[in-house]
Chain A
Amino acid sequence: MSDLLLSVEQVEVVYHDVVTAVQGVNLTARAGQIVCLLGSNGAGKTTTLRAISGFIGLDHARVTGGRIVFAGEDIANAAPHICARAGIALVAERDKVFEQLSVRENLEIGMVAGKTGSQAAGGDRLDLKGIYRFFPELERLTGRQAGFLSGGERQMLAIGSALLTSPRLLLIDELSLGLAPVVVERLAAALTDIRDALGITILLVEQNANIALSIADYGFVMENGRIVLDGDAGRLLAHGDIQEFYLGQGAAAGERRSYRAVKQYARKRRWYG
């Protein structure tokens, strides 16, 4: 298990000292893996992601139990910029780009930030050219103010800018949110390329299980603040519950139900059916 990059062990996050958002979450990611975290709204995916990237501290929340071990160090409750410098880059759901800065300046911000993960570990530093290789669109737009970019371009810029901090772990919250399917496919392909070329570990939080599982190696499913299912992406994709709930195939098609409800229904069917 020497290539274990991130391991979240029995983590519990409490907001305002009162509300428990996630409890006993266990999650691991190995170097060079694409891991996805699935779940419906309010399942605790984003909280988990924010706990890893240190952002819960800004939202009056704390990790009150368990450990978050990244590259051998416990980073639970560290400040966001400390996590970023340790080599964790986050592409958040909302704050994606600096709208008043140009595309180029946005990218350079990542490099400005200096001494981070893979560089500290002696790896090659990525430069603007490297980013343009993955996203040629950005090269055309280099002088454009980022506030004027389209949703897809923003997402590319956000990923590019995050990559320039030379992370070892890239966290992406809702890659597909509000984007056209064709753009999402393009981005998903780019993520695979990035992983293959740079050896970066990617943790993807998604509602769109199909896209996520198609590029991921391993997947976790969250429900009500707990991990309820995990396994290789291929096996998850074939799993009956996933198909019923997330992919809308089978019995529950057309009606969204929680994972737990689906399980209960399945159990009942076994007992009484």
Chain B
Amino acid sequence: MARASGYLKTGYGQQLVLVETRMQWMLLALLAAALLALPLFASFFLLDLAGQIFLAVIGAVALMLLTGIAGQVSLGHAGLLAAGALVTGILTQEAGAPFWITLPAATIAGALLGLLFGLPSLRLKGLYLGISTLALHFIVVFLGQEYETIRGFSTGISVHPPRIFGWELYDPAAWYYVLLAFDVVVVLFALNLLRSRTGRAWRAVHERDVVAEALGVSVFRAKLSAFVISSALTALAGAVFSYYRGFVSVEAFSLFVTIQYVAMVIIGGLGSILGAILGAIFVTMFPYAIEAALETTGLAAALAGYVFAINYALFGLVMLAFLLFEPDGLAGIWRRLRDYFFLWPFRKTPLAGGE
């Protein structure tokens, strides 16, 4: 993809640096200040929206690692989220376990599921893998339903808010900061992973696995590690989600959730962590934006029964539009804008013969 070339790097150290320029430091500082200050002004609704976005970011980054970086399709994302939430719910209900047990437990459960369903898929490529993860979804949801019916939690398993030294995490603003911290850790983890040997191996496998193998990358280990790490992160997201909502119900993890996450990585732009974040923001806000648009145009009353359907159809349309016309997603648009300002007043033009 054509883009401005950036800065001349004179050593491997510079290649590895996350923040390259003073300008970027300043922008990051501004962003951090804005994020930290937000709860001081925001309404309850906005805080909840931010919380949803933060939760979505964890799942989207996890899926981006697997799909966008390592190039493995997964249709079991909702199943993995459900698995994390269920582990949390069951452990709280049956053993009264606190969060510092349930969160690691959910993460480990996710990793194990990733291992279990990743293993048969290792001999397979892309599509087969996706379908076997679809199997994961159905099996997890089935087991969850069984548990709920047998124990009589047909409306959902309630989860107590986490307690730290007798203090309950309940206040929306407190949740906001906790989730923000979670996101920062997850994003830094993902970025670091990409700079490491593992991340480069994933990209190589994505590009062409036979060549990667010839270059000494263990395709087996790369695929499995991508699967396990992504699954563990996703299950963790599910566990945090169950605490945030206060209860767990398998109903909440339909296939549509999987599709939403797939949409996040597509709309955000495959292959970029920034894309995962942008995609999560876009997809989470999408239904609210539609609702607001209907309100302001005064069509809300007339179309009351159809809001869900409109949402669905427009959502598909947007996904399609991005896939067909902007395959690099929001991250690609961002990069183009940045290059434009970076190069201004010069313009990038293709070489002779280009359009």
A and B directly contacting (CB within 8 A):
yes
Enumerate chain A interface residues (CB-CB to B < 8 A): 12, 14, 17-18, 62, 64-65
Which interface residue of B350, B353, B354, B355 has the most chain A CB atoms within 10 A? B353
Which chain B residue has the least Cβ–Cβ distance from A17?
A: B354
Q: How far is the CA of A60 from the CA of B354 in the complex (A)?
A: 12
Q: How far is the CA of A65 from the CA of B352 in the complex (A)?
A: 11
Which chain A residue has the least Cβ–Cβ distance from B350?
A: A17
Which chain B residue has the least Cβ–Cβ distance from A19?
A: B351
Sample (13) of A-B pairs whose CB atoms are under 8 Å apart: A12-B353, A14-B351, A14-B353, A17-B350, A17-B351, A17-B353, A17-B354, A17-B355, A18-B351, A62-B353, A64-B352, A64-B353, A65-B353
A175 to chain B, nearest CB (A): 29
A56 to chain B, nearest CB (A): 13
Interface residues of B in 337-355 (CB under 8 A from A): 350-355
Which chain A residue has the least Cβ–Cβ distance from B353?
A: A64
* B316-355 vs A, Cβ < 8 Å mask (1 yes, 0 no): 0000000000000000000000000000000000111111
Nearest 8 A/B pairs, CB to CB: A64-B353, A17-B354, A14-B353, A17-B350, A18-B351, A17-B351, A17-B353, A62-B353
Contacts of A18 in B (CB 8 A): 351
Contacts of A64 in B (CB 8 A): 352-353
Q: How far is the CA of A18 from the CA of B353 in the complex (A)?
A: 8
A52 to chain B, nearest CB (A): 19
Contacts of A62 in B (CB 8 A): 353
Give the size range of B's interface with the partner: under 10
* B196-211 vs A, Cβ < 8 Å mask (1 yes, 0 no): 0000000000000000
Q: How far is the CA of A91 from the CA of B353 in the complex (A)?
A: 29
Given A17-B350, A17-B351, 7 more A-B residue pairs with CB atoms under 8 Å apart are A14-B351, A14-B353, A17-B355, A18-B351, A62-B353, A64-B352, A64-B353
Which chain A residue has the least Cβ–Cβ distance from B355?
A: A17
Contacts of A65 in B (CB 8 A): 353
A81 to chain B, nearest CB (A): 23
Q: How far is the CA of A62 from the CA of B355 in the complex (A)?
A: 11
Interface residues of B in 74-126 (CB under 8 A from A): none
Contacts of B350 in A (CB 8 A): 17
Q: How far is the CA of A14 from the CA of B351 in the complex (A)?
A: 10
A18 to chain B, nearest CB (A): 6
Contacts of A17 in B (CB 8 A): 350-351, 353-355
A25 to chain B, nearest CB (A): 15
Contacts of B352 in A (CB 8 A): 64
Which interface residue of B350, B351, B355 has the most chain A CB atoms within 10 A? B351
Which chain A residue has the least Cβ–Cβ distance from B354?
A: A17
Q: How far is the CA of A14 from the CA of B355 in the complex (A)?
A: 12
* B140-169 vs A, Cβ < 8 Å mask (1 yes, 0 no): 000000000000000000000000000000
Q: How far is the CA of A17 from the CA of B354 in the complex (A)?
A: 5
Q: How far is the CA of A145 from the CA of B28 in the complex (A)?
A: 63
B212 to chain A, nearest CB (A): 23
B192 to chain A, nearest CB (A): 33
B352 to chain A, nearest CB (A): 7
Q: How far is the CA of A7 from the CA of B291 in the complex (A)?
A: 63
Contacts of A12 in B (CB 8 A): 353
Contacts of B353 in A (CB 8 A): 12, 14, 17, 62, 64-65
B218 to chain A, nearest CB (A): 29
Which chain B residue has the least Cβ–Cβ distance from A62?
A: B353
Q: How far is the CA of A65 from the CA of B353 in the complex (A)?
A: 8
Which chain B residue has the least Cβ–Cβ distance from A18?
A: B351
Contacts of B354 in A (CB 8 A): 17
Contacts of A14 in B (CB 8 A): 351, 353
Q: How far is the CA of A12 from the CA of B279 in the complex (A)?
A: 42
B216 to chain A, nearest CB (A): 27
Q: How far is the CA of A76 from the CA of B352 in the complex (A)?
A: 18
Which interface residue of A12, A14, A17, A65 has the most chain B CB atoms within 10 A? A17
A16 to chain B, nearest CB (A): 9
Q: How far is the CA of A18 from the CA of B352 in the complex (A)?
A: 8
Which chain B residue has the least Cβ–Cβ distance from A63?
A: B353
Q: How far is the CA of A12 from the CA of B352 in the complex (A)?
A: 12
B157 to chain A, nearest CB (A): 53
B15 to chain A, nearest CB (A): 24
Q: How far is the CA of A12 from the CA of B350 in the complex (A)?
A: 17
A23 to chain B, nearest CB (A): 11
Q: How far is the CA of A17 from the CA of B351 in the complex (A)?
A: 6
B108 to chain A, nearest CB (A): 46
Which chain A residue has the least Cβ–Cβ distance from B352?
A: A64
Contacts of B355 in A (CB 8 A): 17
Q: How far is the CA of A18 from the CA of B354 in the complex (A)?
A: 8
Q: How far is the CA of A142 from the CA of B326 in the complex (A)?
A: 48
Q: How far is the CA of A14 from the CA of B353 in the complex (A)?
A: 8
B327 to chain A, nearest CB (A): 15
B354 to chain A, nearest CB (A): 4
Q: How far is the CA of A65 from the CA of B355 in the complex (A)?
A: 14
Q: How far is the CA of A12 from the CA of B351 in the complex (A)?
A: 14
Q: How far is the CA of A252 from the CA of B49 in the complex (A)?
A: 76
Which chain B residue has the least Cβ–Cβ distance from A13?
A: B353
